[in-house]
Chains A and B, each alone.
Chain A
């Protein structure tokens, strides 16, 4: 994944959006922010998964202290490019590719903290996260996968959404 892709990810004018420029505003609003990545991988038909949910729920994510930082709220694929973390080539099934186009979230700040505290100090430092942010997602912000036993799930945001406005810092990671 190139740096160029990363820059694209931070804008709302994604390559995949152009074909729908004349569609209604409602359709525009409900377009997934990273649809162009799904198209790039050829998984736009199956991603996000059909079983994804859209009910209102609170969720938490690791962030850096400045909530407006461009390092926050990036999908796995773009973030790995920014942070120079090698992407496992196991991202070769449509499911893993799809998950990489979404954002890792937890149900609660505590689940976010337990996962972070499970990392060793070397990785904690390299990732650079310092805080937990909490926000509420719903049918207007995107859809999400069901969570695993440890509270982790993947969120696929719509293109008009700015998560920096929805999420607030609620705790520190230490």
Chain B
């Protein structure tokens, strides 16, 4: 075992100490929480052993540190490294704690060998134990938004300004809004890319990835956690707290917690003027993804007369985001080729109101008849489509209430249609407008067949039932 610098003590008076809990265990305690007779809290942590000795590290902790650890907000490593103590104790024990101690050593935090420190991933993500629930009221002062505070501590702070100070340090509301929109679009695209890159192997189908991505898009939308008005400043963070107890997947939680910093490293901190940087980005991200992630961000930093700086929560040092000219920007995000531009046609959706005989089949009407029956038409954004019947070749469901799906037409890299019902978690996509309705019905039937026999997601099952119950099922005649 490593030699530790410090002063040997004859004994350590722990007789009146009370063990509150073994927080981590394996064949005995790994990390325990004790209180001394004055109510001071201590962690005792197993740090080393050899054939004759178990070595423990003992240090004073605050109630807030204990709570932050148990809430999964700070790792054990962070708690141990925080500068809230001026000394620590090492206990080399041939006996168990509370039994026979061989040697006590008074030391300083800097003497703790690196190998004795837990790793970065030493988070407790099992939920705050019952006996610590009352703790919460004492740790969080009334009126203090604990959630907000933790998001702030994991935020990026931006400062936006114009070169020309005609209007002092103020910027227009439109420019502020444009910055927030473009940043959000870039960030969410990065989140999707990074998630797929890391976790695609864990999903059985494209549908299950899509479902998870929809949840993530919603959960990880950038949130404004701070605002400053004498020169526009905004702190942006993401939620990394709310789901962790319901879904305590340690790897995923760490990914969520780190995603804003990963984005900072990969996008904000890049010097796009460097050819090497541009090359690396071009190689790593294919053009479609590249334009979604870097496009909006490069728009922000190449805006004429605009200056952008960033810092961390402490705001001790601001870094300038380097500007980029139009030519270099196009070097990263190429514009469409002339051929592509020629092929792109702008389209819009319109609703038309026709006056027809009751029960008349509109699909068999001629152009002339349609023109004659037309009452009016108007453009419409994201129209709704009602499904009164859901069917495929095997099943027909006469619905109690129609399912309403939103139609979205996208014209980014390619023209395609989407039908979405968020309540039922259905989203289908096709280039073919005739197929999109069929795909939607197939997806509903697939979910219906899945949920009617399984009851894991009761809310979704109830929702599906609300449409279909009582269900009239019949096999279509050949």
Contact = CB atoms under 8 A, between A and B. Distances in A.
A113 B121 CA distance: 10
B248 interface: yes
Interface residues of B, number: 46
Nearest to A171: B251
B76 interface: yes
Nearest to A112: B26
B205 to A, nearest CB: 21
Contacts of B93: 88
B248 A110 contact: yes
A151 B126 contact: yes
Contact of A150 (B22, B95, B98): B22
A114 B24 contact: yes
Contacts of A116: 26
A150 B124 CA distance: 9
Interface stretch (A13-21, A39-47, A118-126): A118-126
B250 A114 contact: yes
Given A88-B54, A118-B124, A123-B47, A104 B26 contact: yes
Interface residues of A, number: 32
Interface stretch (B81-89, B110-118, B310-318): B110-118
B123 A114 contact: yes
Interface string A119-146: 1111100100000000000000000000
Contacts of B250: 110, 113-114, 117
B146 interface: no
Nearest to A116: B26
Contact of A118 (B53, B98, B122): B122
Given A86-B54, A118-B30, A123-B46, A104 B95 contact: no
B118 A120 contact: yes
Given A88-B95, A118-B122, 10 more contacts: A62-B26, A86-B49, A86-B50, A88-B54, A114-B125, A117-B123, A118-B23, A118-B30, A148-B25, A151-B126
Interface of B: 21-28, 30-31, 46-54, 76, 93-100, 113, 115-119, 121-126, 129-131, 248-250
